[in-house]
C-alpha cells in the first residue's frame, strides 16, 4: 500500500473502509506531510492540528459503532482563506482582516462537516482573491511544488500547491476568473469551477458576486466528483443558489466518451503568446481524446478577444462595492485618526495591499457618473454576447476543450510589476465566469518539466459530462499520479 499522504480522496476512503488505516492515521499523515514540506511550499496559513486529530478520533469511534456519515467521514480537507468559520481565522490573506473570526460558518464547510470531514487548516491566497500568482498575499508567497522558484498560480495558489505537494487529499478554492483552474493547471492537479449557483456562496467572502464560485481542487476527476456531490445543491441562505437536483456525479464516471463531440475554438489555439511546449502537450491531449472515441469539432468563439477587458471592468466594479464594508468600524484592522474620515483613510491605506487598491480604484472609476455607461454597462453587454457565443457553440458540441493557461508557471517576481502580463495569464479562463458555465482543468503533460493544463468547458449544470471526460482522459494518461520531488521526508 502507498503511504497514506500519497493517496487521493477516493483511494483514502477505500483504505479506511477496508480497515487498513484509521481516520486518525489519515489525518495524521496529512499533518506529518505538512510538517515535512510546507516550510518550502508555504501552502498553509493556519493548522488546527489538535482539533483535527480530536475530530478524527471521534470519527473512528463513530465508524466502530457503524455510525459513519458516509464514505468521507473522518477524512481531511483544506480550506481557502476566504471561507468563514467560527473554528478558525478568516483573513483573505489581508492585513485588514487579520484576526477576524466569523460567528457563522460557510454553507460548503457545514456540508463537509455534516459528511464527517475534518478541516485541516486554511490555505494561502492572493489578497481577497485578487491575483494570479499567490504573490499578493500579505502573509507570504506560496511556491510551486514542481519548481520552488516559480509561482503556483492564483488566487487559490495555496490550495493548488497543497494538493500538488500531497499535503492534503482535497482542498476548497474559489474561482472568479480562473482562480481554481489556473493554479490547478500550473501545479498539475484537477480544479473544478462549477456552474454559477451550483454551489452556495454563503460564507464566501465576496470579491465579485456575479462571478465568484466555490469548487474543489483534487488529485483526480473522481475525487472532484466525490466532493462536488457533497457541496452542491440549493441553499436558501444564498439567493443566487440554483434550485436543481444534485446527481450522483461518481455514477456518471463510466470511462467511455465514445461519440462525445469536443469543440475546439480556433481563437484559443491560435492565440498569440501560446507557449510552444504548452501547445505540444495540448495537441497530444486532443489526440488522446480522439483515441478514446471523442469527435473533434472546429468552431469559433469570436467574442473571446473582448472577454478579458469586460471581465476586468465588471470584477473591479463589484470589488469596489463589496470591499467598501472594510472601513475599521465594526471588525478587522482599525488605524486611528483625528476624524472619522481620517480613520477610514488610514485603515484602508494600511490594510489593503497594492493590487486590491488598484482594483478598488478601477472599479470606483468605471461606476462613477459619466463613465458608467461607457464602461460598466458596455462590459455587461459584452458579457451577454460572450454567453450567446457559448450557447451557439454548444449547439454543435458537447464540451469545449482549450488551454487553461497560455504557458506554464513563471518565476516568482517576474510579473509583480507588470499587472497587464499578470492579468493575461487568465485570458483563457475569464470568459467561462462571464457566461456562468462549469469548467475544469486537468493535467495533460509538460512544457519542459512544468505541468500544463487542459481546460474542459460544459453546458450549464453539465458537470457530469466534464467529469466523465476528465476521468477517462486521466485514467488513460495517468498525469494526475505524478508527484513532485520535494526534499522533505515524511515518516
Q: What is the mean pLDDT of each run of 10 residues along the chain (491 residues)?
A: 86 96 98 97 98 98 93 98 97 95 97 98 98 97 98 98 98 98 98 98 97 98 98 98 96 92 95 92 98 97 93 96 92 93 95 96 92 92 97 98 98 93 93 98 97 98 98 96 77 37
Please state the pTM of the whole predicted model.
0.96
Check residue 420 and give its pLDDT: 87
Q: What angle do CA 160, 163, 167 make, to 5 degrees?
A: 130
485 CB neighbour count, 10 Å cutoff: 6
* Residue tagged active-site, from 137, 179, 200, 447: 179
Between the CA of residue 446 and those of 134, 182, 255, 275, what are the distances in Å?
21, 15, 24, 11
Contacts of 374 (CB under 8 A, 6+ apart): none
Q: How far is CA 157 from CA 141, 153, 163, 219, 416, in A?
A: 9, 5, 10, 15, 15
Q: Cell numbers at residue 383, please?
A: 458579457
Alpha helices, DSSP H, located in 165-292: 181-187, 221-231, 266-269, 276-291
Based on the residue annotation, tell me whether 80 is a catalytic residue of this protein.
Answer: yes
CA angle at 383 for the pair 382 and 385, rounded to the nearest 5°: 65
- In this prediction, residue 117 carries a pLDDT of 98
Cα-Cα-Cα-Cα torsion 294, 295, 300, 303, nearest 10 degrees, comes to -20
Of the residues 155, 156, 159, 441, only one is catalytic, namely: 155
Q: Please list, in sequence order, all residues whose beta carbon lies within 8 angstroms of the beta carbon of residue 273, skipping any fewer than 6 positions away.
A: 406, 407, 424
pLDDT at 273: 87
Is the bond into 155 cis (omega within 30 degrees of 0)? yes
Q: Quick check: 297 and 263 in contact, CB under 8 A?
A: yes
409 DSSP 8-state letter: P
Angle at 416 between CA 201 and CA 429, to 5 degrees: 40
pLDDT (0 to 100) of residue 491: 37
**Domains, in order of start, for the chain:** 4-301+389-481 (3.90.1300.10)
pLDDT at 255: 83
- The three-state secondary structure class of 315 is helix
| 470 closest CA partner among 401, 409, 422 | 401
pLDDT of residue 171: 98
Residue from 160, 157, 166, 164 nearest 30 by CA: 166
CA 83 – CA 122 distance, rounded (Å): 9
Give me the catalytic one of 13, 22, 30, 80. Answer: 80
Q: How far apart are CA 36 and CA 467, in angstroms?
A: 32
Per DSSP, 256 falls in state -
> What's residue 488's pLDDT?
55
Phi, psi of 203 (to 5 degrees): 90, 0
Give me the pLDDT at residue 2, please.
Answer: 60
Amino acid at each position: 500500500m502507498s503511504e497514506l499522504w500519497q493517496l487521493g480522496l477516493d483511494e483514502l476512503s477505500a483504505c479506511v473502509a477496508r480497515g487498513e488505516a484509521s481516520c486518525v492515521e489519515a489525518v495524521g499523515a496529512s499533518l506529518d506531510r505538512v510538517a515535512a514540506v510546507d516550510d518550502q511550499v508555504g501552502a498553509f496559513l493556519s493548522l488546527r492540528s489538535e482539533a483535527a486529530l480530536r475530530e478524527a478520533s471521534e470519527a473512528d469511534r463513530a465508524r466502530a459503532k457503524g455510525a459513519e456519515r458516509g464514505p468521507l467521514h473522518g477524512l481531511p480537507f483544506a480550506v481557502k482563506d476566504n471561507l468563514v468559520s467560527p473554528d478558525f481565522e478568516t483573513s483573505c490573506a489581508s492585513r485588514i482582516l487579520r484576526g477576524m473570526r466569523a460567528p457563522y460558518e460557510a454553507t460548503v464547510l457545514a456540508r463537509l462537516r455534516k459528511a464527517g470531514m475534518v478541516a485541516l487548516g486554511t490555505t494561502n491566497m492572493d489578497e481577497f482573491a485578487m491575483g494570479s500568482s499567490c504573490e499578493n498575499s500579505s502573509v507570504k508567497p506560496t511556491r510551486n511544488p514542481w519548481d520552488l522558484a516559480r509561482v503556483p498560480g492564483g488566487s487559490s495558489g495555496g490550495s493548488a500547491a497543497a494538493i500538488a505537494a500531497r499535503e492534503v487529499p482535497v482542498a476548497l478554492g474559489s474561482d472568479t476568473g480562473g482562480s481554481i483552474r489556473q493554479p490547478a493547471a500550473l501545479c498539475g492537479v484537477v480544479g473544478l469551477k462549477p456552474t454559477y449557483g451550483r454551489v452556495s456562496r454563503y460564507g464566501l467572502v465576496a470579491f465579485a458576486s456575479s462571478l465568484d464560485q466555490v469548487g474543489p481542487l483534487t488529485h483526480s476527476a473522481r475525487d472532484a466528483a466525490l466532493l462536488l456531490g457533497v457541496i452542491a445543491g440549493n441553499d436558501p441562505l444564498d439567493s443566487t443558489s440554483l434550485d436543481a437536483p444534485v446527481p450522483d456525479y461518481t455514477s456518471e464516471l463510466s470511462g467511455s466518451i465514445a461519440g462525445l463531440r469536443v469543440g475546439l475554438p480556433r481563437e484559443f489555439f491560435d492565440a498569440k503568446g501560446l507557449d510552444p511546449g504548452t501547445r505540444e502537450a495540448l495537441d497530444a491531449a486532443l489526440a488522446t481524446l480522439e483515441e478514446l472515441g471523442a469527435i473533434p469539432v472546429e468552431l469559433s468563439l469570436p467574442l473571446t478577444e473582448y472577454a478579458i477587458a469586460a471581465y476586468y471592468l465588471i470584477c473591479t466594479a463589484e470589488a469596489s462595492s463589496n470591499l467598501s464594508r472594510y472601513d475599521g468600524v465594526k471588525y478587522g484592522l482599525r488605524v486611528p485618526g483625528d476624524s472619522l474620515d481620517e480613520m477610514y483613510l488610514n485603515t484602508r491605506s494600511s490594510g489593503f495591499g497594492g493590487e486590491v487598491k488598484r482594483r478598488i480604484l478601477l472599479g470606483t472609476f468605471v461606476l462613477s457618473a459619466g463613465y458608467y455607461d461607457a464602461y460598466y454597462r458596455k462590459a455587461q453587454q459584452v458579457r451577454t454576447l460572450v454567453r450567446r457565443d457559448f450557447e451557439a457553440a454548444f449547439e454543435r458540441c458537447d464540451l469545449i476543450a482549450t488551454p487553461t493557461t497560455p504557458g506554464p508557471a513563471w518565476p516568482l517576481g517576474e510579473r509583480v510589476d507588470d499587472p497587464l502580463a499578470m492579468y493575461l495569464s487568465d485570458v483563457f479562463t475569464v470568459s467561462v465566469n462571464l457566461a456562468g458555465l462549469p469548467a475544469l482543468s486537468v493535467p495533460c503533460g509538460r512544457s519542459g518539466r512544468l505541468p500544463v493544463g487542459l481546460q474542459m468547458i460544459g453546458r450549464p449544470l453539465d458537470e457530469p459530462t466534464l467529469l466523465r471526460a476528465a476521468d477517462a482522459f486521466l485514467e488513460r494518461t495517468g498525469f494526475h499520479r505524478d508527484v513532485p520531488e520535494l526534499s522533505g521526508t515524511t515518516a
